[in-house]
Amino acid sequence: MEFDNPSYVEDASLTVPEENNISNQTLPISVNGRIEPHHQGGGESSVKDQIKLGNNVFEAKKMMEEELVEVKDGDTKINQYYLRNIRLEDEVLQGLHTMRQEFDSSMVIASQNKRNRKRDLIDRIIDIPEEIEPELGFECCIYKVPTSLLNVQEEAYTPLLISIGPIHHNKKGLNEMQEQKRKYFRFFWNRLENKLDLENYIGFLEQHEQNIRACYQKKFSDISKEEFVEMMLLDAVFIMELFLREEKRLEHKKDYLVTQRCVSKSIQRDLMLLENQLPIVMLEKLYDRVVPKNVKKHKKFIHLAHEYFRFYYPHQHSSENKFELRKWEKSLHFTDLTRNVYLPKKLRSQMKYSQQECVLRTATKLNEAGISFEKVHDRCLLDVKFEKKRFFSWFPCFGCLPCCKLFKARFQIPELRVDHTTECVLRNLIAFEQCHYPEEPYICNYVSLIDSLIHTKDDAEFLVEKEAIVHGLGSDQELANLVNGLCKNVVINSTCYHQIMEDVNGHYNNNWKWAMGTLRWVYFRDPWRSSSTIVGIAILVFTVFNFYRVTDIIFS
């Protein structure tokens, strides 16, 4: 059998299965894979069948090879697809991560912007100019009087002749005293033995200019540093020269600021006002560093200031109330000095504060209940006490007897002297406590206590009669009006007289003591009425006894 191509594929032999009745033999296959016909045994039909079967086998093998190639190509494509998917997934994850970062950044920026907007809103609200709401520090001690108090009586807080400090500086009507300040400055300059001391003091003022400004509630940014230092220097030197001249008044008879009492009292009043103050540390430095030693009568400036204002605390002339340097040297200015003088000794330990409300009856009502009022000496103005005795508080009618006077329930009040300057002093002390000592309003408590005792003219007249109050006003009604107006618009959250008020009310609310008090007021008000009552009782007893004796004689 001949083939179209003489070359053969050596390993291209196929084994034909026996079930097809084809003997196991090697079939020649051409190069193109087609089995050529040949004649080797058997008939023509068997040869055709053999060729057909070989071609089928070849086709099957070719298809298998093609499928294998396709599978390999498919695996490659799958691998490429997987790789492509992995790369795509990485890109997606990276994109998501980038988007997440951008989202987080945008959220952070949005949150920060939101916080910034809130902060800006807060800043706009609290960004109030210092002129409207000043920053109050520990050293702040000189205040503008609250408007609520100014509306009651502005004149009590306004200087009449002289302005001290920046609050009333260059105020209309007070400029006439500026020439007197410069005149006093020349007097003080002539006193100095070492002129360099005053120059050093000016350096002290320039160095501590901001600290001095901090002592004022208002910072006065419209006043330059040079103007502020000059103003402080003139005012401090004026006060120092005035105090030194007042101490030796007889040597300065030609100085009308010292010799004319109406002028000196007005200046003294102006130096007491809360808005008309200098930090006392400035004056202490001036006294210690500049005033010549041969001029100094006192070791400390606080002694000199205390002597100048002695008119405002007459109770200090007593032997018991000596100068308390330790307590008063902590004073911040002259208003604070006067307040410290009014406070009794060991005030914090003796007078406990309470926020419980307690209403006190008027002086006449308490007197009707058997409580007597009396003035006491050698005590500070605020040292009010209530004493009750066990036996005679139950039988107050015996209190009219001189020998029993010390055994009654007594309301002891230090003598209060009231004149046309008293209202000014008390109002400024109250204003200072409202601003600087809201937790220790001792002056406010005292004024409130006196206000509770005086409601009408009769109450004022009664306390004047008992010499608990001495006044130089026109009438008792004017005194009542003055006292009742002091606490107007004053905020008092606690009182140091709570225990005294409770004891007094306990005595007043006792029915037996009230009845005995009424009996004493009606029949034992004074010795004459008491003697008449006793004589009447004696006559009644004698009459009853005589009637009983006569009746016994008749019927016996």
334-343 pLDDT, tens per residue? 999 999 988 8
**Averaged pLDDT for residues 210-226:** 92
pLDDT of amino acid 45:
56
Give yes or no for residue 164 having a pLDDT over 90. Answer: yes
Identify the bridge partners of residue 410 per DSSP, sorted by sequence position: 372, 387
CA gap 200, 185 in Å, rounded: 16
pLDDT of amino acid 25:
46
Give yes or no for residue 504 having a pLDDT over 60. Answer: yes
pLDDT bucket at 26, cuts 50 / 70 / 90: very low
pLDDT of amino acid 88:
66
Give yes or no for residue 123 having a pLDDT over 60. Answer: no
Give yes or no for residue 56 having a pLDDT over 80. Answer: no
- Higher pLDDT: 449 or 59? It is 449
Contact by Cβ (8 Å): 507, 389: no
Give yes or no for residue 427 having a pLDDT over 70. Answer: yes
Distances (CA, A) of 172 to 156, 160, 175, 219, 278: 17, 11, 7, 21, 20
- Higher pLDDT: 57 or 44? It is 57
Worst-scoring range by mean pLDDT, 76-80, 111-115, 206-210, 436-440?
76-80
Q: CA angle, 478 as apex, 456 and 158 as ends, to 5°? A: 125
pLDDT of amino acid 555:
77
Give yes or no for residue 398 having a pLDDT over 60. Answer: no
Contacts of 136 (CB under 8 A, 6+ apart): 217
pLDDT of amino acid 167:
95
Worst-scoring range by mean pLDDT, 35-39, 411-415, 534-538?
35-39
pLDDT bucket at 389, cuts 50 / 70 / 90: low
**Averaged pLDDT for residues 10-33:** 44
CA gap 191, 115 in Å, rounded: 64
pLDDT of amino acid 233:
96
Q: Tell me the average pLDDT of the chain.
A: 79
Worst-scoring range by mean pLDDT, 41-55, 352-366, 465-479, 491-505?
41-55
